Chains A and B, each alone.
Chain A
């Protein structure tokens, strides 16, 4: 394909000392403070941070996009000699789409379900590039081919819903790039996608953006991904940039305690490094005369209570910490003691009694409207040794959650049987005796829905005691509940709060507490951390691994994240289309996968140490 690239000026888009606030009922909340970033053509800047750190606000501010109530408090956004933050809507409309492109997380916001793909392309190409219909169509088909959409000519006449999620995001990418913008802002473009699809889309993004000499900003919460695909990395916390530099250097030798903690919280499949959560919760606004991270920092001193400048360490490296001079560069690989999971692997699982046995279980759903039933789980057999953690991994639609729910008695298996300590379990929880319902407890994925919003924390936690623990007298219940709160690292004074006053991670702790109050033998976990920030995820996984060892629990953990799988599971099975593709001890399975599907999953996990492989390999 021969598109002529116009000469680009280096560092066209830059934020200079940008401070932004939102004016709401409670007055002004500052969300960005003194942020300076510069995008360079042909290079990708990664912007990492937890939710609420201000990274999306920065991405949108760079486009000159304004939300009502938003105020620029200081600084400017400069693009090609003009101030985007002050530009009129008319001026902005000339550069948006044409010179500045934006790719959001959700294609539902970038593709119009009522228009064909062709209309999407033609509109932009005619408006911004002045192409006629035939030329625009030609160009569109070329771009669809470049993002590897099969049969591009036919695809142009289809509607967005006729493509899979990954294809939609690739089409949106082609759409953004087809007008040959100078700058591309990517806001979590692959977050909602399956791992293999994510890897594919990311490869395309990096290759195409570099080929076209585009200056890109890649916003994500996934630090390992950013370190793999980006050239430079900026870490945001509480509306400030706390560290920036060359991606590989920042990831290998972080200088700010937050960066180090964040890297320590990212689950990886490559090393035995245990996960460590960051205590506390991220602060939602910019700190005043203090370090934003101080209240969660292990290295905090009284000197931290002051305005802390971003200090340049080298030509392209800076960090915002008052103790930079005293603290050495962190080594994320060698911070802490070895994992409990690794210790347990000493006893082979086959020598242990199975507490839970799944025999040839199949789950089939009738599909309304069509005769063909949907096979969610296809003849799965697995035995779970007592006191061990079994991980079930797979992409969405692999049947992993359905399998877990059939163990919990929420989905009745269409065939096969599940037995607990040799006794066959009835298909639904309601038909099982109290002792069996008590013994198997489940924790769910979505922290927003796992607790009844109209019940206080105490009401939610008291319920399993009433049902399953007649040995605890009514007046002793409050003490038992308070004790459980302490075990899941929550203070008992939260008991009378409602779930809406708690953060996602805190709600998941309550949900884990609710399950444990029944004194179960088996704890089923359905993607319990997938909706949480990495730092919170690591704390929850740490808690789970600790509680499991302490209580000799058997855990069945469903996840799509192989890093999480490695952190929690002794044994693992890999599911695809409802069937087991591979099973075995987790470490061996990840180190020496034998099934092609397992290999494909592993290759899709971003690993900064093998960036070239990740970006070059596969499909």
Chain B
């Protein structure tokens, strides 16, 4: 055996890369169950409008019917088919929080990265703003916005995004602070890399797990938050079919015809649980310590 062969390390000498596969994620009980539930709900929401027996807003002369062969879940006080409204009413329940969280995430990631990496005065200002923002109760802030601009999907999405952004910024900022002094970042600085490269190519991939867990958790909160706002009449406006709105409208008939409240409420709950399970599984999957969080 020549000395050179002995001296050179080849791939055969090194353990095989451990793949973090999708299969591995699904093998975590929460992951598999959460993804299963979410896929089921997504199927319901996507396919629902096509298989709904009636139009969601078609008013019939048969209000407040119990479940029957014609109306599987009965009708509401306007005589609208509850099953059709359930099948149509999921899209906005998922879409609005998704939009709100995505918008908040984009802003928060930018601000958190810059503030965490640069530190100094920039960071002081950002921290100051975050602290003030966190001192304002979420519902109150959104109520003020809605009172000023009126209800509706767009306003609620914007308001929720603005309210959530500081929470997410704080998480991204502290994750960035943990990565910034590491030597591969110093190496990049010594090479004279641009700020953009350092933030997005060196740091961002390493806070990816934190980011993903945070997205999933915030999404859960946002689903509940926006559904609650819709219930309060501040979010999606009637007569739109929306699970939150349905719970609010059928509430009066809870004792007479409970299906109209229970089914949409249950679906919101299942959706939130599914996303929460996924968030939990993501944390386990990446094995990263979750930062301390305040609940909304």
Contact of A454 among B8, B13, B183, B208 (CB under 8 A): B208
Let me know if A22 is at the binding interface, CB within 8 A. no
Let me know if A324 is at the binding interface, CB within 8 A. no
Within 8 A of B (CB), among A473-520: 486, 489-491, 493-494, 497-498, 500-503, 506, 509, 511, 514, 518
Q: Mark B167-200, 1 if CB is under 8 A from A, else 0.
A: 0000000000000001110110111110000000
Tell me which residues across on chain B come within 8 A of A279, comparing CB atoms.
Answer: 3, 6-7
Let me know if A451 is at the binding interface, CB within 8 A. yes
Min CB gap B114→A, angstroms: 16
Cβ of A430 and Cβ of B192 under 8 Å apart? yes
Q: Which of B14-22, B23-31, B102-110, B262-270 interfaces with chain A?
A: B14-22
In the bound assembly, the distance between CA atoms of A494 and B16 in angstroms comes to 10
Cβ of A409 and Cβ of B15 under 8 Å apart? no
Cβ of B187 and Cβ of A450 under 8 Å apart? yes
Cβ of B190 and Cβ of A296 under 8 Å apart? no
Let me know if B202 is at the binding interface, CB within 8 A. yes
In the bound assembly, the distance between CA atoms of A467 and B205 in angstroms comes to 21
Within 8 A of A (CB), among B1-54: 1, 3, 6-11, 13-18
Min CB gap B207→A, angstroms: 10
CB closest chain-B residue, reference A494 = B11
Given A449-B182, A452-B202, A501-B15 in contact, is the A444-B187 Cβ separation under 8 Å? Answer: yes
In the bound assembly, the distance between CA atoms of A164 and B208 in angstroms comes to 38
Cβ of B17 and Cβ of A429 under 8 Å apart? no
Cβ of A453 and Cβ of B206 under 8 Å apart? yes
Let me know if A445 is at the binding interface, CB within 8 A. yes
Min CB gap B126→A, angstroms: 18
Cβ of A490 and Cβ of B9 under 8 Å apart? yes
Cβ of A437 and Cβ of B9 under 8 Å apart? no
Min CB gap A257→B, angstroms: 13
Let me know if A464 is at the binding interface, CB within 8 A. yes
Let me know if A246 is at the binding interface, CB within 8 A. no
In the bound assembly, the distance between CA atoms of A498 and B197 in angstroms comes to 19
Cβ of B6 and Cβ of A506 under 8 Å apart? no
Cβ of A429 and Cβ of B191 under 8 Å apart? yes
Tell me which residues across on chain A come within 8 A of B13, comparing CB atoms.
Answer: 280-281
Min CB gap A457→B, angstroms: 11
Min CB gap A546→B, angstroms: 11
CB closest chain-B residue, reference A445 = B183
**Max chain B C-beta neighbours (<10 A), residue from A432, A444, A486:** A444
Cβ of B16 and Cβ of A430 under 8 Å apart? no
Cβ of B192 and Cβ of A449 under 8 Å apart? no
Cβ of B206 and Cβ of A452 under 8 Å apart? yes
In the bound assembly, the distance between CA atoms of A514 and B182 in angstroms comes to 17
Tell me which residues across on chain A come within 8 A of B8, comparing CB atoms.
Answer: 486, 489-491
Min CB gap B142→A, angstroms: 36
In the bound assembly, the distance between CA atoms of A498 and B3 in angstroms comes to 27
Cβ of B16 and Cβ of A501 under 8 Å apart? yes
Number of residues on chain B facing chain A (CB within 8 A): 28
Contact of A498 among B9, B17, B182, B202 (CB under 8 A): B17
Contact of B9 among A405, A450, A506 (CB under 8 A): A506
Cβ of B192 and Cβ of A437 under 8 Å apart? yes
Min CB gap B294→A, angstroms: 26
Cβ of A494 and Cβ of B205 under 8 Å apart? no
Let me know if A463 is at the binding interface, CB within 8 A. yes
CB closest chain-A residue, reference B185 = A452
In the bound assembly, the distance between CA atoms of A489 and B14 in angstroms comes to 14
In the bound assembly, the distance between CA atoms of A408 and B190 in angstroms comes to 6
Given A410-B190, A489-B8 in contact, is the A501-B14 Cβ separation under 8 Å? Answer: yes
Let me know if A442 is at the binding interface, CB within 8 A. yes
Within 8 A of B (CB), among A429-458: 429-430, 432, 434, 437, 441-442, 444-446, 449-455
Tell me which residues across on chain A come within 8 A of B3, comparing CB atoms.
Answer: 279
Given A491-B9, A491-B10, A506-B9 in contact, is the A432-B192 Cβ separation under 8 Å? Answer: yes
In the bound assembly, the distance between CA atoms of A281 and B191 in angstroms comes to 31
Cβ of A502 and Cβ of B183 under 8 Å apart? no
Contact of A430 among B18, B189, B202 (CB under 8 A): B189
CB closest chain-A residue, reference B207 = A454
Given A497-B14, A502-B14 in contact, is the A444-B192 Cβ separation under 8 Å? Answer: no
Min CB gap B56→A, angstroms: 46
Given A452-B202, A452-B205, A490-B8 in contact, is the A429-B189 Cβ separation under 8 Å? Answer: yes
Cβ of A497 and Cβ of B11 under 8 Å apart? yes
CB closest chain-B residue, reference A432 = B192
In the bound assembly, the distance between CA atoms of A468 and B190 in angstroms comes to 12
Q: Mark A296-322, 1 if CB is under 8 A from B, else 0.
A: 100010000000000000000000000
Min CB gap B13→A, angstroms: 7
Cβ of A409 and Cβ of B14 under 8 Å apart? no
In the bound assembly, the distance between CA atoms of A502 and B193 in angstroms comes to 25
Contact of B191 among A453, A464, A489 (CB under 8 A): A464
Q: Mark B75-105, 1 if CB is under 8 A from A, else 0.
A: 0000000000000000000000000000000
Tell me which residues across on chain A come within 8 A of B208, comparing CB atoms.
Answer: 454
Tell me which residues across on chain B come within 8 A of A500, comparing CB atoms.
Answer: 17-18
Min CB gap A456→B, angstroms: 10
Contact of A409 among B11, B16, B190 (CB under 8 A): B190
Cβ of B184 and Cβ of A452 under 8 Å apart? yes
CB closest chain-A residue, reference B6 = A279
In the bound assembly, the distance between CA atoms of A359 and B8 in angstroms comes to 41
In the bound assembly, the distance between CA atoms of A410 and B192 in angstroms comes to 10
In the bound assembly, the distance between CA atoms of A272 and B202 in angstroms comes to 43
Tell me which residues across on chain A come within 8 A of B206, comparing CB atoms.
Answer: 452-454
Cβ of B6 and Cβ of A450 under 8 Å apart? no
In the bound assembly, the distance between CA atoms of A22 and B69 in angstroms comes to 62
Given A409-B190, A437-B190, A437-B192 in contact, is the A493-B202 Cβ separation under 8 Å? Answer: no
In the bound assembly, the distance between CA atoms of A511 and B183 in angstroms comes to 11
Tell me which residues across on chain A come within 8 A of B17, comparing CB atoms.
Answer: 497-498, 500-501
CB closest chain-B residue, reference A460 = B184
Tell me which residues across on chain B come within 8 A of A511, comparing CB atoms.
Answer: 187
Cβ of B191 and Cβ of A467 under 8 Å apart? yes
Q: Mark A243-287, 1 if CB is under 8 A from B, else 0.
A: 000000000000000000000000000000000000111000000
Given A491-B11, A497-B14, A506-B14 in contact, is the A296-B184 Cβ separation under 8 Å? Answer: no
Query: Mind listing 25 A-B residue pairs with CB under 8 Å?
Result: A409-B189, A409-B190, A409-B192, A410-B186, A429-B189, A429-B192, A430-B192, A437-B191, A441-B190, A444-B183, A449-B182, A454-B206, A460-B184, A467-B193, A468-B191, A486-B8, A489-B8, A489-B9, A490-B9, A491-B11, A493-B10, A497-B11, A501-B14, A501-B16, A514-B187
Show the binding face of B for A, using Cβ within 8 Å. 1, 3, 6-11, 13-18, 182-184, 186-187, 189-193, 202, 205-206, 208
- Told that A409-B192, A454-B208 touch, could you supply 16 new A-B pairs with CB distance under 8 A? A280-B13, A281-B9, A296-B6, A428-B189, A429-B191, A437-B190, A449-B184, A450-B183, A450-B184, A460-B184, A463-B191, A497-B11, A497-B17, A503-B14, A506-B14, A511-B187
Show the binding face of A for B, using Cβ within 8 Å. 279-281, 296, 300, 405, 408-410, 428-430, 432, 434, 437, 441-442, 444-446, 449-455, 460, 463-464, 467-468, 486, 489-491, 493-494, 497-498, 500-503, 506, 509, 511, 514, 518, 539
> Sorted from nearest, which 7 A-B pairs have the closest CB atoms?
A454-B205, A491-B10, A444-B183, A493-B11, A279-B6, A452-B184, A449-B183
